[in-house]
Structure 1
């Protein structure tokens, strides 16, 4: 018998190993806008959107002063941060462009629109919004048919 996870299940938070807490806070707090909920000594900090106990934990428990993880190794590919609306995604994209923060990619996946970047430790970050489920592409059998197409960032910015 196969177990099926409940449909209401959500991923609550992610913990990232970072080399320098303050450097990471400059990215996650000062650029992306997360709120600091709690410092855990000088080795961890918990940050959130909207007052949740934490969406992201940043810690140096095994990584203080370390370099980035090798690209060709197992581990986290990226953390995906879901924005509630397309306009919210456009606003953070505009902010990143204004401060000239380097983007590593942008894509329309049919089900969502996303931009990609790296945090100061080289951890991949996806910022995205989900299109309405009724607009998701499906094949002739009704199965989800996600794509990776070019995202028109200039058109996205017309949301503002």
Structure 2
């Protein structure tokens, strides 16, 4: 068996092929609140949280005017954006509700709370917050026991206030 990846390795950023750059920016910046760091004309944009060079790259280099992949094909399942706390996740939910975007689902996984939706190009998006590891559910032998319980969205919205 090969050596495992270093435990401090992180996923740095994502690049998404989109059909309409302005529409994608409206979602990732206008709804989710990421900041545009740089645009390359009408072909690409780079967005981030906190002024980082980019967490999200959006481009139309191979996809301008393209269509969503059909169900049953390979591709991106979803991106996942980790929020620092429950109030921040609640604020993200508030933005989504205000924009009239339909959720695909929401779940309490025991280790995290997550909201699932689609961006304008049909890419899956997960917005979540982790619980402290000390609060993760474990069985009698100490093994992690994740679940898929319903998430109380109203309580999450109340937390944002």
**Same fold, judged at TM 0.5 (above):** yes
Rounded to whole Å, the distance in 2 between the matches of 1:62 and 1:145 is 41
Instruction: Report the count of equivalent residues.
Output: 160
Rounded to whole Å, the distance in 2 between the matches of 1:41 and 1:4 is 41
**Alpha-carbon shift at residue 100 of structure 1 (Å):** 1.8
Q: Which residue of 2 aligns with 1:118?
A: 118
**Alpha-carbon shift at residue 150 of structure 1 (Å):** 0.4
Q: Which residue of 1 aligns with 2:132?
A: 132
Q: Which residue of 1 aligns with 2:146?
A: 146
More divergent stretch after superposition (35-44 vs 51-60): 35-44
Q: Which residue of 2 aligns with 1:41?
A: 41
Deviations for 1:26-81, whole angstroms, at most 9, x for unmatched residues?
A: 10011111111111232111110001110010011111101111221111100001
What secondary structure, in the 3-state scheme, does the structure 1 residue paired with 2:80 have?
strand
With the length of structure 1 as denominator, give the TM-score of the two structures: 0.95
Rounded to whole Å, the distance in 2 between the matches of 1:11 and 1:149 is 27
Rounded to whole Å, the distance in 2 between the matches of 1:154 and 1:139 is 29
Rounded to whole Å, the distance in 1 between the matches of 2:45 and 2:99 is 24
**Alpha-carbon shift at residue 82 of structure 1 (Å):** 0.6
Deviations for 1:85-104, whole angstroms, at most 9, x for unmatched residues?
A: 10000111122212321111
Rounded to whole Å, the distance in 2 between the matches of 1:139 and 1:125 is 30
Q: Which residue of 1 aligns with 2:71?
A: 71
Runs of 4+ aligned residues of structure 1 deviating over 3 Å after TM superposition are none
Provide structure 1 residue ranges, at least 5 long, that are not aligned to the other structure. Answer: none
Instruction: Supply the RMSD in Å over aligned alpha carbons.
Output: 1.1
More divergent stretch after superposition (39-48 vs 18-27): 39-48
Rounded to whole Å, the distance in 2 between the matches of 1:28 and 1:98 is 14
Rounded to whole Å, the distance in 1 between the matches of 2:32 and 2:157 is 17
Rounded to whole Å, the distance in 2 between the matches of 1:43 and 1:90 is 32
Q: Which residue of 1 aligns with 2:22?
A: 22
